[in-house]
Structure 1
Amino acid sequence: MDLLQQIVARAKADKQRIVLPEAEEERTLRAADKVLADDMAEIILIGNPDNIKKLAKEWGLGSIGKATIIDPMNNPKSEEYAEKLAELRKKKGMTIEQARELVTKNNLYLGCMIIKTEGADGQISGALSTTGDTLRPALQIIKCAPGVTCVSGGLLLFSQQKEFGENGVLVMGDVAVTPVPDARQLAEIAVCTAQTAKTIAGFAEPRVAMLSFSTKGSAKHEVVDKVVEATKIAHEMAPDLKLDGELQADAALVPSVAEKKAPNSDIAGKANVLIVPNLEVGNIGYKLAQRLGNAVAIGPVLQGIARPVNDLSRGCTVDDIYYMVAITACQAQDAKK
C-alpha cells in the first residue's frame, strides 16, 4: 500500500483546489480537517458556515479554519453561476429560474459551476449522494474530455500476489459506470484507464490487456468480436500505447500461460491494466478478487470527465475520502497539462 503514500506525496507537491459539497457530513468534514492538517490540498467546503464551524468545534477539528467555506444561500457569485448554467443548458430548456434553484439548493451543481468558472480543480461527493447525483451535474456542466464520449470507472487493485501487474498493483476498467459499452466506448475506456494507471498508480508503462473469454481467436462470438474491434480502435486512438487483445485473464497475467496461448503478444503474461468487456464482468471480477483473493480495491476513480469529479460509496470511511482527495488532486494536475 506504499502507493497510496506516493499518491499523497504527489498531491502535496502541487496542491489543487478540491470541492467537498457535502461539507456538513461528519466523515467528509473529518477528512477535510485531515487534508488541511497535512497540507495536501486546498479545500472548498459548501454548506452553512455556522453549522460547519459549530460541528468542527464539537468534533475538535482544528484545521477547518484553513478551508474556504461557501454558503450556497448567501453566495455573491450565485447570479453569475446561474446565468452561466442557464446558458450551458439553454438547448435543453433550462430557465434562469431553474438555474438559480440549482446553484443555491443543490451543492453538487454549485461545486461543478465553481470548477467550470476556474474557481476549483476537482470535486468529490457520494458520502450522502448517489452515483447518478454525482455524475449528472458533472456531465451537464464540465462535460467529457476531448475525444471521449463515455465516462468510466478505473479501480486500483492491490494483490498479495506480487508477481502480477506492478509488484501486485493492477488497474481495472470499467467497474462502475457504463453497463454494456460498444466497441468505440470500450476503446475509450482502455485509453482512459491507461491514463489513470500513469496519473494515479504511477505506472511508467501501462500494458493494457483487453480481456475476453477468448484468446487470439480461440472462441468465436459477437462479444469477442466487440473486443477485437475495440482493440483496433484503441490502437488508432493511442498508437504508442502498449495494448493487446483479445486475451483471457490467465493469458494476460501468467507468463507460462501466455507462452502457450499468445506467444507473439508483447502484453500477454505482463499486463498491468485490465479492461473488461462490460460492467457486469468488472464489478463481479474485482469483488471476487477482494473476497476470495484478499485483494484491496481503491476506487472507482471516474475517468473521461474534462475536470475530475469523483464518487464515493455511501459507506465510505474518513480515510477513503482523504485518499480520494489525493487521487482527485493528481487527476487535476494531469488535466492541466
Structure 2
Amino acid sequence: MADYVLRTPELVRKVASYQVGWPFELVPLAVFLDHALPTEVYGPMAGVAPEDDRRRRAFAPIHALFPAWFERYGVDGLGRLLQHRASYRDHLVFYAVLYGNVPLLEFLSTHVRLDVRSPHWCYAAYFDHLDVLEFLMAHGYEGYSTRVFSVAVAAGHLGIVRYLHELGSLADSDAMRLACEHNHLDIAEYLHYHLDLSWDRPCVVVYDNESDGRCAIRDFLIEHGYVFETVQCPRRGVLDRWRLRKRSSRDLRLLRVVESTDDNLIQRAVNLAAAHGLSHIVTYFCRHRVATFQTAQALDVAKDCQERVLVPILKDQVKKETPRRRRHPWCFIQ
C-alpha cells in the first residue's frame, strides 16, 4: 500500500514541484526545442524546394512528437512548459508557422504579443498556410512586405497570391519573372490579367529542360509579347556549392543565369533588346555602361531584325566609340 501511494503521479509531481528541475512530462519536448532550432532567423532560401527546406527539417522531430504530447498534457502542459522557459514561446511560434498550427498560435498569443517578423510571413506563404496568413493579418502583426508575395509566386501557391492581391497587397516587379522561371503558368496568367506590373527586365529566363513541360510558358510569353531568353538549367551540384559558399545572399537567380550562359550576360541582354526594338533599354546600357559590350554587335542584330528606329542610335554610338586617329603636333600635314 505504501509503495502504491509513493508511486502515484500526483504525489511525484507534488514532490518534484519543490525541487529545482524539470517535470518528467516536459523533458521530451524541451530536448527537441533546445536542439532543433537554428540560431539564425531567416526566410526561405530561393531555389530550394519546400520539402528540402532546412528549417522545416529541423522542426520535423517536434512535429512528430507534439500532437501526441499535446493530446496527453493539453493546454496545462504547454503552460507549465512556458513557465519553465519563456523563450520556448518563440520556438513554438516558428513551429506553428512552419506546420500551419493556428490553434497553437491562438494559445501562444492569449496574453502576450507574439514576436512576428518577416521570416514568419515568408514561411507561411512558402508552405501554403493561408490560415496562418489570415491569423497574422487579423491580429495586425508587422513584418509583411512585397517579398511575401514574391515567395508565394515562386512557390506556386495561386490561392495565396489571389488572397494577397484581393487584400490590396502590392506585388514586386519581379513577380512575373519568378512565375515564369519556376514554370507556374497559372500564376503567370493571373498576374498578366489581374495586375498591372511593370516589365522592366529585358531578360526573363525560362529554363529549357527536355523533361519539363516548359512549352506552355514559352507560348504564353510569345503570345503576349514578353521578352525572354531560354537557357539550360544548371546542374544540381552547382547550386549546392553556391548555397554553401554564398548562404548569406540566398539568391540563386543570378547564378542560374551566369552559369547557364557561355558569354557576357549584358551583351546578350543588349542584343535581345535590339532585336525587339526596345530603344529605352539600349539607350540605358549605352549611356551608363554597367558592363563592357560591343555596340557594333547590337547594331548588326538591329539591322537583321529591321529595327529602323534603333539603327541610327546604335550607328551614332559606334562612331563615338571608334578611336580617332591620333594627331602629332610636329606633323605639318594634318
In which range does the TM-score fall when normalised by the shorter chain? under 0.3
Q: Between the two structures, name the one with larger relative contact order (CA 8 Å, sep ≥ 6).
A: 1
Q: Compute the TM-score of the two structures, normalised by the length of structure 2.
A: 0.27
Bigger fraction of residues in strand:
1
